[in-house]
Structure 1
Amino acid sequence: MELALDKLNAEDVLHQLIGMAAGQIPVAGGFVNYLVDTVLFPKPDVDIWAEMEGRVQGLVGSRLDEMVASLGANNAANLFARLRAFGNELRQFAWITDREERKLRLAFMVTQLNAAVAECVALPNAQLLAIPDILRPLSLAHIAVLMEQKALEPHRYEHQAALNHTAIMYSDLAGSLFQRALAWRRAMVAEGKGRLVIEDLNVNEGAQTRSVHFTVYDRFAENRWQPGPHGLPVIKKIADGLRMDRVDVRYADTEQATYKALTAYDTKIVGEYTDLWNRKLLNYTREFMKLVDWPGVEREKKGQAKAERRVLTFPLTIAGARPARAKGSVLDRLDLFLEQQMDQFAIAGPRYAQTYRLSPEALAGEHAVMHTRADTYDTAMACIYFQERGEMARAADLADALVVAQNHDAKGGGRIVAATRADELLDRGMGNTTSVFVHDGGRRDVGNMSWAGLALTRMAHRTGRYRYLHAAEKIGGWMLENCRVADAWGGFSGGEDHWGTKYPWRSVEHNVDAFSFFANLHHLTGDPAWADASASARKLVLACRVTPRRDVVCYVTGTGEKMELNSGVIPTDTQSWTALAGIDPGNNERLSLIYMLNHMDATSEGFAGTKFAEHGQEVQNEATAGAAMALWLRGGDEGMRGEAQRYLDSLTRQITEARNGDGYGVVATPAAEAKTGPGLGWSYFNFLHVASSAWTGLALLACDNPGANPYAPLSAVAK
């Protein structure tokens, strides 16, 4: 039976409310009464609010799967209770005539609505498909209540400000819930790991033949739960008559065809799910932007109107204020910035550092999603920095977060994802597994994991705590088992993507990281396997050294799928980090640093530094700080140290003078955008940046303490 809720045209109702607000549609009784009498309860036998309550109540008893059923029931029960209370308030509102009583009731209803929205957000990902049917009437009621408040006190801009932020909030919320729902929906296919169910059938021992069936299952095919341990089979490929007594290439061909079909199925799901959410919710919430007083929003940004942003970055800054000119030393101020990045979403216990601090303008723009990004690499860098500063409590919180991320990884085995959500280390909606910054953080790569290992082995060295050594050995074990390459060049391949597909290429930067990480493990344990692994990583780096002409040496970015150099991409860090790790000491090391100075040196907005790579654009400060440290420690003469000092002076000056600087941290680039260049393809933007800040601090410390070099052997690191 089709319910009135299913036929609710929320766009038309919203247009009616907007028309009423503009005075184009006269109506008696106010916005709330219009919604109650005309939309939600138009006649005795129609009660859209009760139908919505019924949808939520249905979630209480819905059987999804064991992982989310209990959590979903609790959240749905809370949401049902809040909606029932608010529905009763709506029904009673028409009988209240006293102005002050109406104002109190409206304020109370806003509180209930805000709590109901919070309960919607807390629903597990598996229940999000029901959200559009809940948010359509809920958001209409929310808007009507705020419009009623504004009509009662039109002179108070705070009501319009609340309407601005609520309209934007629902639009943002719909988008974020859709992204969560889509990520969950895709994870229902092939167990979210690209897993194929492979079965041998029709085995003929006499003829030595068999048939192999490759199947992909979908637990939520056709947008409903499917029975069975895996769900519904949606892709099946069969390789018939395979030989059992020798390698039969048809096996691999069929397997690859199945993976190709899986990719196409994933694309199809994304398209269908996007269309579904557009029809049910997203097209409607986009209309909310018509309610926003955009000039008023701009005044709020400038501090000219009393209102609060929905997304805040702490500590709050006054619009237009100049960067701080604190009396503390540069290192003191870097300490403060990194502490604040740790404390954005939690103030104690294991937690990642928020990678970027966005400006108010960026928070309202296309890069707003970066607000919740927390990279394993940046967290490891901050951990190493705090160790060198003697802030061991801070370092322990970050190291413990790396351990938690490993222990709760959805795939396990020692893996750590490249990036988590800064506001949620563990994802409650996915069974308390490590959260994933879904845009690109789901990979498990050798570089990020080696940096986690470098931070953890330093902690083990300094504290003697076995938990850090144990976690580091698990990382090393996973890399040995899954990434070691047994050819003439050796080394370690890239890792794996979110689906578990192997990266066959080998990165010099990753292998430099692995070289020092494995050397640390050997120092701590004496196990020769770690020394062998370190030597293998070094072998790959040396294989990627090129000599274009006499007295010119550089290290390229790495290899393709086989023993073939990717010689068109030459990053800065493959020169500086290789030197810092001491992989190729002597003349080759010195010549590669000269190559770096000749080919990567740049100036942006009046600040000196290095590009990320030879063919990149603009100064990138993380690379600049690493280059400065390498030139100071490994350059070998005063001329090199002079270049190092030039970079260090630039980095120090940027703390107070660079655009979007705050007087404490270092921006990723002083330019609007620093492109990494062809063959790499990503960009850094003018945001305060944890890795750039931590590298700057370590480079300054290394001028007097070589042990601050993150690649330094543990024998050179003070306990």
Structure 2
Amino acid sequence: MAVDRRTIIGAGTAATVLTVFGGGAARAATGSTPAAGTGDARTRGYAFLDAAMDGYPDHGSIRLAQSYADQAGLFSTAFTYDNALAILAHLAHPGRASRARAVALGDALLYAQAHDPQYADGRLRQAYNVGPYVFYDGSAQPDGFVRADGSVNVGTQFGFTGTAVGDMAWAGIALAALAGRTGARRFLAGAVRIGEWVEAHGRTDEPLGGYKFGVDGADQKLPFTSTEHNIDLTCLFGRLARLTKDGVWLERRARAEAFLGKMWNESGGFFYTGTNDGVTINTSPVPEDTQTWSYLSLHDRRRAGSVDWAADELAVLDTADRPNSTVPAGQSYEGFTFSSASLVADEDSPIAPSQPKPDRNGVWFEGTAHLALALRERRAAGDERRAARLIASIERAQDRLGPGQTVGSRALPERSGVVSASSPLDTGFGFGYYPYRHTGATAWYLLAAARANPLRGH
């Protein structure tokens, strides 16, 4: 099995329907993000984040943002990772309303830490429900993010019940960023709890070392170790060292970074995805995010070529004349795909049962955004020009793809939110991405557009 942060980590249960994986009025408590100008693409991106957060106004003020438009088929699922990104994107905006939204989302993550229905050790689950729905089998899920008994509404229907180290790291990064911006000790305390959970449940003395994947919903440790997760941890542990002044976090950061060194392919100029057993390196598929996030976190000039590897080897152009493309006639989008396996996906077979056939040239807009940001951060000859072209492609996608979609059955603001992929895309890791407006893709676009590196700061 190829390992990736987005692997479903329930307690041995599979999702019945899996379409990804992979506007409501603003509330007085947080307000709306102020407009930066009529028709501004970034303003419309923030309008989508607001709508995703405000989709269920009758279900309490403590809430997370729904990850995908309703049409994706995941109902009111709010992935922890996507909400961490939404916090970081809001902190990249100078307005008070965006900061208030970041604080509200951070407080919701803290609430989830404190009100898990089973555990009191500071863990966060892969995803939560944030609004009511009727599942595919006819069973009703009537609650919002906070159930009547005060516990948080874990995403059991799709099996999103486990805890991944990568998700925890991103939540910790977001909480640490809130602590740095607001000075509120509760956010730093939450980030430290996350770091301690990772140390207790992820640290391994296997030959390749590093920190392992996490646990499933039954609290059983998973055997994989992910390069991406350990990249995330270099940032989290570095931030905790800076904010707490405790040197133990530097030792933990060094452990995660040492694992990354073992995943580096010197001759190829890229990072492998990880290991299934702590002994043998997985050499295929090779994902995009390990190449870009490694540079965004470490700024290692010796391995900056990983950005070039992704830019050269994973570049795609999705056009309407391709057999499985869902891009409207006359449109095209450039960017990058998810992994080396995406480029050789079987275009004659559905990605999953009842799902469409993949387009090998489908653009993964989330990855395209963080590659654009890595180029902007690196600033080598030609980097800024290429990054600007990629951001323009994402903004065209926000304008034109995913019309008529909703969150909580409420129409999204016009031309707001970036779809996760231009056409159905097989990641090569057992899940796909589709043209549904997505909190994570939109947040990464906003970060790239603002030149705000969420992995900087250690």
Q: Is residue 660–residue 687 contact of structure 1 (8 Å, CA) maintained in 2?
A: no
State how far apart, in whole Å, the 2-side matches of 1:660 and 1:674 are. 19
1:349 matched residue in structure 2: 61
Structure 1 partner of 2:373: 629
Report how far residue 432 of structure 1 moved: 3.2
For 2:226 and 2:82, how far apart are their aligned partners in 1? Answer: 19
Alignment pair present for 1:398 and 2:109: no
Residue pair 2:209, 2:278 contacting (<8 A) in 1 also: no
1:381 is aligned to 85
Q: Does structure 1 residue 593 correspond to structure 2 residue 307? A: yes
Aligned counterpart for 2:295 among listed residues 558, 579, 594:
579
Structure 2 CA distance for aligned equivalents of residues 481 and 713 of structure 1:
24
**CA-CA distance at 1:625 after TM superposition:** 0.4
CA distance in 2, matches of 1:570, 1:414: 32
Secondary structure (helix, strand or coil) at the match of 1:638 reads: coil
Structure 2 Cα separation of the partners of residues 603 and 474 of structure 1: 43
Q: Provide the alpha-carbon RMSD of the alignment.
A: 2.1
Q: Equivalents in 1 of 2:85, 2:47: separation in Å?
A: 15
Do the aligned residues in 1 keep the contact of 2:207 with 2:278 (CA within 8 Å)? no
Distance across 2 between alignment mates of 1:700 and 1:566: 33
Paired residue for 2:137? Answer: none
Distance 2:396 2:168 in 1: 32
Q: How does 1:228-239 map to 2 (within 5 A)?
A: none
| 1:557 paired residue number | 273
Paired with 1:490 and 1:526, the residues of 2 have a C-alpha distance of: 25
| Correspondence 1:515-534 to 2 at 5 A | 515-534=234-253
The answer to whether structure 1 residue 664 and structure 2 residue 380 are counterparts is no
Give the C-alpha shift of residue 488 in structure 1.
Answer: 4.5
Do 1:648 and 1:700's aligned partners in 2 also have CA atoms closer than 8 Å?
A: yes
Q: Distance in 2 between matches of 1:443 and 1:425?
A: 17
* Alignment counterpart, residue 433 of structure 2, candidates 670, 681, 684: 684
Secondary structure in 2 matching 1:420: strand
Instruction: Read off the aligned partner of 1:692 and give its amino acid letter.
Output: A
Letter in 2 for 1:556: Y
Partners of 2:188 and 2:80 lie apart in 1 by: 17
Instruction: Report SS of the residue matched to 2:237.
Output: helix
Alpha-carbon distance in 2 for matches of 1:515, 1:488:
19
Take 1:659 and 1:425, find their aligned partners in 2: how far apart are those partners? 26
For normalisation by structure 2, the TM-score amounts to: 0.78
CA contact (8 A) 1:341 1:355 kept: yes
> Could you tell me how far apart the structure 1 residues matched to 2:87 and 2:303 are?
31
Q: How many residues align?
A: 374
* Residue 670 of structure 1, CA deviation: 1.5
The unaligned stretches of length 5 or more in structure 1 are: 1-192, 195-262, 268-312, 316-325, 703-707, 715-719
* Residues 96-131 of structure 1, C-alpha deviations (whole Å, 9 max, x = no match): xxxxxxxxxxxxxxxxxxxxxxxxxxxxxxxxxxxx
Q: What SS does the corresponding residue of 1:603 show, helix, strand or coil?
A: strand
- In the TM superposition, 1:691-706 aligns within 5 A as 691-702=440-451
Q: Does 1:713 align with 2:452?
A: no
Alignment of 1:108-119 (within 5 A): none
Is the Cα contact below 8 Å between 2:402 and 2:437 reproduced in 1?
no
Greater RCO structure (CA 8 Å; 6+ sep): 2
Which of 154, 164, 167 does residue 436 from structure 1 map onto? 154
Whether contact under 8 Å (2:403, 2:415) holds in the other structure is no
- DSSP-derived class of the 2:433 partner: strand
Distance in 2, matches of 1:644 and 1:699, equals 9
Pairing partner for 2:48 from 337, 353, 371 = 337
Counterpart contact for 1:660–1:688, Cα < 8 Å: no
> Which residue does the alignment assign to 2:218?
499
- Which of 413, 421, 426 aligns to 1:675? It is 426
* Cα shift at 1:376: 0.5
DSSP 3-state at the match of 2:281: coil
Residues 273 and 287, structure 2, Cα contact 8 Å, conserved in 1: yes
- 1:508 alignment counterpart: 227
Cα deviation digits, residues 262-301 of structure 1 (max 9, x gap)? x8xx99xxxxxxxxxxxxxxxxxxxxxxxxxxxxxxxxxx
| Preserved contact between residue 238 and residue 250 of structure 2 (Cα < 8 Å) | yes
In structure 2, what is the equivalent of residue 620 of structure 1?
364
Alpha-carbon offset, residue 643 of structure 1: 2.1
Partner of 1:451: 170
Q: Could you tell me how far apart the structure 2 residues matched to 1:450 and 1:570 are? A: 21
**Does the aligned pair in 2 maintain the 1:660–1:686 contact within 8 Å?**
no
Q: CA deviation at 1:414?
A: 1.1
Gaps of 5+ in 2: 1-9, 15-22, 26-36, 132-143, 320-331, 343-359, 405-413
Which position in structure 2 is the counterpart of 1:650? 393
Is the partner of 2:128 in helix, strand or coil? strand
Q: 2:286 aligns with which of 561, 564, 570?
A: 570
Residue aligning to 1:426: 146
CA distance in 1, matches of 2:402, 2:87: 27
Q: TM-score, normalised by structure 1?
A: 0.50
Contact 1:660 1:667 (C-alpha < 8 Å) held by counterparts? no
CA shift for structure 1 position 588: 1.9
- Note the C-alpha offset of 1:466: 0.9
Partner of 2:349: none
Alignment partners' CA distance in 2, 1:434 and 1:690:
20
- Structure 2 residue matching 1:416: 3-state secondary structure: coil
Structure (1 or 2) with the larger CA radius of gyration: 1
Q: Which of the pair is proportionally richer in helix?
A: 1
Matched, 1:639 2:382: yes
Shift of 1:659: 4.2
- State the one-letter code of the partner of 1:434: V
Cα shift at 1:337: 1.0
Structure 1 residue matching 2:222: 3-state secondary structure: strand
Structure 2: which amino acid aligns with 1:665? G
CA contact (8 A) 1:651 1:696 kept: yes
Does the alignment pair 1:465 with 2:184?
Answer: yes
Q: Is the 8 A contact 1:350 1:399 kept in 2?
A: no
Deviates more, 1:660-669 or 1:567-576: 660-669
Letter of the structure 2 residue corresponding to residue 343 of structure 1 = D
Q: What SS does structure 2 have at the residue aligned with 1:493?
A: coil
Question: Structure 2 CA distance, aligned partners of 1:345 and 1:434?
Answer: 15
Percent sequence identity over matched residues?
A: 30
Q: Does the 8 Å CA contact 2:155/2:161 hold for their aligned counterparts?
A: yes
Contact 2:211 2:256 in 1 (8 A): yes
